[in-house]
Amino acid sequence: MILKELPSYQTLLEKAARYPTMDLLVTEAYLHVLRTGTILHHNAERRLGKLGLSYGRFMILCLLSRENEPVPVCKLAEMAGVTTPTVSAVLSGMVRDGLVRREESPEDRRVVRIGLTQEGQKVLDNVLPDLFLAQSDVMSGLTQDELRTLITLLSKVRLDAGQCAEEIPK
Protein backbone atom coordinates (compact mmCIF):
# COMPACT_ATOMS: atom_id res chain seq x y z
CA MET A 1 0.00 0.00 0.00
CA ILE A 2 1.33 3.44 -0.89
CA LEU A 3 0.44 7.04 -0.25
CA LYS A 4 -0.80 8.19 -3.67
CA GLU A 5 -1.45 11.81 -2.74
CA LEU A 6 -0.91 14.02 0.26
CA PRO A 7 -3.89 15.01 2.38
CA SER A 8 -4.99 18.62 2.02
CA TYR A 9 -3.88 21.18 4.56
CA GLN A 10 -7.53 21.45 5.68
CA THR A 11 -7.60 17.72 6.37
CA LEU A 12 -4.41 18.01 8.42
CA LEU A 13 -5.92 20.90 10.39
CA GLU A 14 -8.98 18.79 11.17
CA LYS A 15 -6.80 15.87 12.31
CA ALA A 16 -4.72 18.21 14.49
CA ALA A 17 -7.91 19.48 16.15
CA ARG A 18 -9.07 15.91 16.79
CA TYR A 19 -5.72 14.48 17.93
CA PRO A 20 -3.89 16.77 20.38
CA THR A 21 -0.60 14.82 20.07
CA MET A 22 -0.36 15.70 16.38
CA ASP A 23 2.15 18.38 15.45
CA LEU A 24 0.83 19.77 12.15
CA LEU A 25 4.24 20.79 10.78
CA VAL A 26 5.86 17.49 11.77
CA THR A 27 3.06 15.48 10.16
CA GLU A 28 3.19 17.54 6.98
CA ALA A 29 6.98 17.13 6.71
CA TYR A 30 6.74 13.41 7.49
CA LEU A 31 4.14 12.85 4.78
CA HIS A 32 6.24 14.77 2.24
CA VAL A 33 9.28 12.59 3.01
CA LEU A 34 7.16 9.43 2.84
CA ARG A 35 5.55 10.38 -0.47
CA THR A 36 8.86 11.48 -2.01
CA GLY A 37 10.50 8.20 -1.01
CA THR A 38 7.60 6.27 -2.54
CA ILE A 39 7.87 8.19 -5.82
CA LEU A 40 11.65 7.71 -6.00
CA HIS A 41 11.30 4.00 -5.26
CA HIS A 42 8.63 3.54 -7.94
CA ASN A 43 10.71 5.48 -10.47
CA ALA A 44 13.67 3.19 -9.80
CA GLU A 45 11.47 0.07 -10.06
CA ARG A 46 10.02 1.20 -13.40
CA ARG A 47 13.41 2.08 -14.85
CA LEU A 48 14.90 -1.23 -13.70
CA GLY A 49 11.90 -3.09 -15.11
CA LYS A 50 12.48 -1.49 -18.52
CA LEU A 51 16.05 -2.72 -18.28
CA GLY A 52 14.83 -6.24 -17.50
CA LEU A 53 15.72 -6.30 -13.81
CA SER A 54 13.58 -6.44 -10.68
CA TYR A 55 14.32 -4.13 -7.76
CA GLY A 56 15.04 -7.14 -5.51
CA ARG A 57 17.61 -8.58 -7.92
CA PHE A 58 19.17 -5.16 -8.38
CA MET A 59 19.55 -4.67 -4.63
CA ILE A 60 21.19 -8.08 -4.19
CA LEU A 61 23.61 -7.38 -7.04
CA CYS A 62 24.50 -4.01 -5.52
CA LEU A 63 25.00 -5.47 -2.05
CA LEU A 64 27.21 -8.28 -3.36
CA SER A 65 29.26 -5.86 -5.47
CA ARG A 66 30.34 -4.11 -2.25
CA GLU A 67 31.76 -7.32 -0.81
CA ASN A 68 35.19 -8.80 -1.55
CA GLU A 69 34.09 -12.37 -0.91
CA PRO A 70 30.87 -14.40 -0.93
CA VAL A 71 28.39 -13.56 1.82
CA PRO A 72 26.26 -15.96 3.90
CA VAL A 73 22.60 -15.89 2.84
CA CYS A 74 21.50 -14.81 6.33
CA LYS A 75 23.93 -11.85 6.27
CA LEU A 76 22.72 -10.89 2.78
CA ALA A 77 19.13 -10.93 4.06
CA GLU A 78 20.13 -8.70 6.97
CA MET A 79 21.94 -6.29 4.62
CA ALA A 80 18.83 -6.12 2.43
CA GLY A 81 16.51 -5.69 5.41
CA VAL A 82 14.38 -8.71 4.54
CA THR A 83 13.97 -12.27 5.79
CA THR A 84 16.24 -15.12 4.76
CA PRO A 85 13.38 -16.94 2.93
CA THR A 86 12.67 -13.76 0.92
CA VAL A 87 16.30 -13.51 -0.19
CA SER A 88 16.46 -17.25 -0.89
CA ALA A 89 13.46 -17.01 -3.21
CA VAL A 90 15.11 -14.23 -5.24
CA LEU A 91 18.48 -15.99 -5.25
CA SER A 92 17.12 -19.17 -6.83
CA GLY A 93 16.36 -17.39 -10.09
CA MET A 94 19.58 -15.38 -9.93
CA VAL A 95 21.66 -18.57 -9.59
CA ARG A 96 19.72 -20.13 -12.48
CA ASP A 97 20.41 -17.02 -14.61
CA GLY A 98 24.12 -17.02 -13.72
CA LEU A 99 24.09 -13.66 -11.90
CA VAL A 100 25.26 -15.08 -8.58
CA ARG A 101 26.86 -18.31 -7.41
CA ARG A 102 26.22 -20.44 -4.34
CA GLU A 103 29.17 -21.77 -2.37
CA GLU A 104 29.09 -24.10 0.62
CA SER A 105 31.16 -22.92 3.56
CA PRO A 106 34.20 -25.15 4.05
CA GLU A 107 33.79 -24.83 7.85
CA ASP A 108 30.06 -25.57 7.99
CA ARG A 109 28.28 -27.18 5.03
CA ARG A 110 24.94 -25.86 6.29
CA VAL A 111 26.11 -22.30 5.62
CA VAL A 112 25.64 -21.19 2.03
CA ARG A 113 27.52 -18.16 0.78
CA ILE A 114 26.51 -16.08 -2.22
CA GLY A 115 28.97 -14.42 -4.57
CA LEU A 116 28.61 -12.11 -7.55
CA THR A 117 29.49 -13.64 -10.92
CA GLN A 118 31.05 -11.82 -13.86
CA GLU A 119 27.62 -11.93 -15.53
CA GLY A 120 26.06 -10.27 -12.47
CA GLN A 121 28.72 -7.56 -12.58
CA LYS A 122 28.02 -7.06 -16.29
CA VAL A 123 24.34 -6.51 -15.52
CA LEU A 124 25.27 -3.84 -12.96
CA ASP A 125 27.70 -2.25 -15.42
CA ASN A 126 24.87 -2.01 -17.98
CA VAL A 127 22.21 -0.74 -15.56
CA LEU A 128 24.02 1.69 -13.27
CA PRO A 129 24.97 4.37 -15.84
CA ASP A 130 21.29 4.79 -16.77
CA LEU A 131 20.24 4.93 -13.11
CA PHE A 132 22.91 7.54 -12.33
CA LEU A 133 21.61 9.70 -15.20
CA ALA A 134 18.06 9.32 -13.89
CA GLN A 135 19.20 10.35 -10.40
CA SER A 136 20.87 13.43 -11.85
CA ASP A 137 17.69 14.32 -13.71
CA VAL A 138 15.57 14.01 -10.56
CA MET A 139 17.96 16.13 -8.49
CA SER A 140 18.82 18.66 -11.22
CA GLY A 141 16.69 21.37 -9.61
CA LEU A 142 18.88 21.44 -6.51
CA THR A 143 22.16 23.31 -6.07
CA GLN A 144 25.23 21.64 -4.57
CA ASP A 145 24.53 23.38 -1.25
CA GLU A 146 20.89 22.27 -1.32
CA LEU A 147 21.98 18.69 -2.02
CA ARG A 148 24.35 18.78 0.97
CA THR A 149 21.59 20.21 3.16
CA LEU A 150 19.16 17.55 1.95
CA ILE A 151 21.67 14.80 2.77
CA THR A 152 22.22 16.24 6.25
CA LEU A 153 18.52 16.59 7.01
CA LEU A 154 17.52 13.18 5.68
CA SER A 155 20.42 11.57 7.57
CA LYS A 156 19.11 13.08 10.79
CA VAL A 157 15.59 11.84 10.06
CA ARG A 158 16.88 8.37 9.17
CA LEU A 159 18.92 8.12 12.38
CA ASP A 160 15.99 9.32 14.51
CA ALA A 161 13.64 6.90 12.74
CA GLY A 162 16.07 4.05 13.39
CA GLN A 163 16.20 4.88 17.08
CA CYS A 164 12.40 5.13 17.27
CA ALA A 165 12.04 1.74 15.56
CA GLU A 166 14.32 0.18 18.19
CA GLU A 167 12.13 1.64 20.96
CA ILE A 168 8.90 0.09 19.65
CA PRO A 169 7.91 -2.80 21.95
CA LYS A 170 7.72 -6.18 20.22
**Measured between alpha carbons, how far is 148 from 139 in angstroms, rounded to an integer?**
12
Cα–Cα distance measured from residue 110 to residue 105, given in angstroms and rounded to the nearest whole number:
7
Q: Where do the DSSP E strands lie in 47-142?
A: 71-72, 100-104, 112-116
pLDDT bin (cut points 50, 70, 90) of residue 168 is low
Least-confidence region, from 117-121, 152-156, 161-165: 161-165
Residues 91/132, Cβ–Cβ less than 8 Å: no
Report CA-CA distances (Å) from 30 to 18, 23, 157, 166.
19, 10, 9, 19
Band (pLDDT 50/70/90 cuts) for residue 170 is: low
Percent of the chain's residues with pLDDT above 90: 79
> What tens digit of pLDDT does each residue of 97-115 get?
999 999 987 777 788 899 9
Residue of 76, 68, 67, 75 whose CA lies nearest to 94: 76
Angle at 165 between CA 164 and CA 170, to 5 degrees: 120
Q: In this predicted structure, what is the pLDDT of residue 18? A: 94
Other beta carbons within 10 angstroms of residue 49's beta carbon come to 11
**Mean pLDDT score, 109-132:** 93
pTM for the predicted model, two decimal places: 0.81
The angle formed by the CA atoms of residues 46, 55 and 118, to the nearest 5 degrees, is 115
Which residues touch 13 (CB under 8 Å, ≥6 apart)? 24
Inter-residue contact 92 to 125 (CB < 8 Å): no
In this predicted structure, the answer to whether residue 1 has a pLDDT above a threshold of 70 is no
Backbone angles phi, psi at 114, to 5 degrees: -120, 130
